[in-house]
Each structure stands twice: as C-alpha cells, then as structure tokens.
Amino acid sequence: MLSSEMSFLLTVLAAGLAAYLLIYYCLFKGARFKSNVTLKGKTAIVTGSNTGIGKTTAMDLAKRGARVILACRNHQRAEAAVYDIRRESGNSEVLYMHLDLASLKSVHNFAETFLKSEPRLDLLINNAGLIGSGRTEDGFGMAFGVNYLGHFLLTLLLLDRLKEAENSRVVNVSALLHRLGSIDFNLLKTHKDLVTGQSYWHSFRAYCHSKLCNVLFTRELASRLEGTNVTCYCLHPGVISTEIGRNMGLLAKLLSVPMSKLFFLSPEGGAQTTLYCALQEGLESLSGRYFSCCALQGVSKLGRDDALAKKLWEVSERLCGLQ
C-alpha cells in the first residue's frame, strides 16, 4: 500500500495537472478557424513569415492555393521556409522577397520590387514583431520601428495595388498588451521612440506601445479606406510560444521559456485569428476592429481614441518622409 506521504504527493501532482489542463484549455488553447475557402489566383504578403505564426499563416494560405510572398529579413531562413512550405503545401507559387522592417529604405525597395513584379495583391498580413532593445537603421526604437512604423510605410506604399483587387484586406497583428500601451508624442519627437531606456522593462513597455500603435493605425486606416474595396483588421493572436523574444536578455529568456512551453499556444494555434481576419466572409462591416480567439473584442480606451489615431497617422507620415 502507498504511504500517506506518497498518497499526498500523488494527490498534489494530480491536482496540479488538472489545474494546468483547466488553465490551458480554458484560457490559452484558443479558437480554431474552420473554412474551406480557396485562394487560387490570389496573392498574399506575410511579413516575418520564416518562423512562428507568420510561417504557419503562410503555410495555410499556400495550401489554399494562394501565391504567397514571404517578406523577411533573413535570406537563409526565408529560403528554408519557402522550401518547407512548397514541399508541404504542394504549391510552387511561394517565394521570398527581402524586407527589413528596421530600414525604411528596405521597405521602399521591397515595395518597388513587388509592384514591378507582381500584378495583384489581395492580402497584406503585417505579422512581423519583436521584443528587444536597440535602434533601427533610421534611429527609431526597435519595437516602434519594426512592429509599427515599418508596417505603416509598407501598407501605404502598397495601398494602390490593394485597391485594384476585387476585395482585399490588411491584417495587422497586435496584442492584448496594447492595453498597457500609451503614446508620448513629445518623447517620440526627442528620442525617436516611446521609451527612454534600453532595459528589459523598457523593451517590454516599448512592445506594448507599439501594439497600441497597431490598433490605432488599423482604426484610422479603416476610416481612410471607407468607400473602397479594401478593409482592415487587427488582432491578438493569443499567448504564443514563438521566437518573438529572441532579442531578450539571457535572464528574461530563462524566466519566459518554461512558461511558454507549459502554457503558451503553438504557432498553429496562434495563427488562427490571423486567418480568421484574412479569410472569414462577412467581416467588411467590421473594418478597423480588433479580434481575438476568432471573435470581435473590445480595445483599450486609448485604442478607441479617434483623435489620437489621426495624430499618430500624421506624425508617422512625417517620420516616414511622406509629407
């Protein structure tokens, strides 16, 4: 017979396992997007698609028959992703185009190359994102520059091509953490960033701010696209186990990796709301809105501020040299 100590230990372990499964399946597992829609003859761009939810998203689109452009910074990893997606999807129309969102010049070059070589664009999925310190080529804070400003410029440069498609969409991957974000335009003017330091805490705050920018960008973009055939959406993909924190310090990685392995969604699970926003029929009336778990969700008070969204747009145009 088991000793009382062993019985107690087994009871604790069983209770812990039950609690883990309850938390995972109720809070973290997320929803699944189920649709048989095909994309033959359509073209999609997915940024940051050589890994994580971006690669999973690109894989799904390729399986549906789309021509998929992997817009990525790392040539070697992107070509490896192209090979994987072509092999698994059976779709040869998957290709890599270089895009470094930390360089406005690279964004311009990508757009120029795409517009010269590709006759149509149906889906622009602004997926790439990071948490980390440092500066972009143009001197902006890394999270602000990559997660938001580079995507802002990319979208504007491709808008005319999107408008030429019958029904096209822009999907911006934001995050629940936008609720912790804010925008200090004076700080942006003096520091070219929304934080003042380079610590992990500052990097985390910068990430939250950049995701609020994504929400506000989507809101203002929808307003400016009203009456066109282009709609846009932003989303929280869930809490995902990806390489988004690859630029974090060692201590932060040691703390986050065990949690991510236990609780966080897989890239496949994390791609579901992106696919929902890109492919779900009948979303046109919800352009500019925010989704999570394949359903419409509310945003923070700042995320609903139309004046803030308009000011961010105007400031961003100046930062990108479009004014």
Same domain, 25 and 79: no
Give the residue-averaged pLDDT of 41-66. 97
Same domain, 23 and 42: no
More confident residue, 290 or 259: 290
Query: Which CATH number fits the domain that encloses residue 190?
Result: 3.40.50.720
Q: What is the pLDDT of residues 171-217, one digit of tens each?
A: 999 999 999 999 999 999 999 999 999 999 999 999 999 999 999 99
pTM of this prediction? Answer: 0.86
Same domain, 62 and 133: yes
Would you state the pLDDT for residue 323? 79
Q: What is the pLDDT of residues 57-69, one digit of tens each?
A: 999 999 999 999 9
Same domain, 129 and 23: no
Would you state the pLDDT for residue 262? 45
SS (H, E, C) the chain: CCCHHHHHHHHHHHHHHHHHHHHHHHHHCCCCCCCCCCCCCCEEEEECCCCHHHHHHHHHHHHCCCEEEEEECCHHHHHHHHHHHHHHHCCCCEEEEECCCCCHHHHHHHHHHHHHHCCCCCEEEECCCCCCCCECCCCCEHHHHHHHHHHHHHHHHHHHHHHHCCCEEEEEECCHHHHHCCCCHHHHHHHCCCCCCCCHHHHHHHHHHHHHHHHHHHHHHHHHCCCCCEEEEEEECCCECCCCCCCCCHHHHHHHHHHHHHHCECHHHHCHHHHHHHHCCCCHHHCCCEEECCEEECCCCHHHCHHHHHHHHHHHHHHCCCC
Same domain, 11 and 149: no
Same domain, 13 and 118: no
Would you state the pLDDT for residue 266? 75
Same domain, 2 and 76: no
Q: Which domain holds residue 268?
A: 33-319
More confident residue, 295 or 245: 295
Provide the pLDDT confidence category of residue 263 given band limits of 50, 70 and 90: very low
More confident residue, 267 or 36: 36
pLDDT of 249 higher than 80: no
Would you state the pLDDT for residue 245? 47
Percentage of the chain modeled with pLDDT above 90: 80
Would you state the pLDDT for residue 107? 98
Same domain, 5 and 100: no
Catalytic residue among 207, 233, 276, 290: 207
Same domain, 90 and 231: yes
Q: What is the pLDDT of residues 97-111, one digit of tens each?
A: 999 999 999 999 999
Same domain, 306 and 234: yes
Percentage of the chain modeled with pLDDT above 70: 82
Same domain, 25 and 136: no
Same domain, 58 and 202: yes
Q: Is 207 a catalytic residue?
A: yes
The total number of structural domains in the chain stands at 2
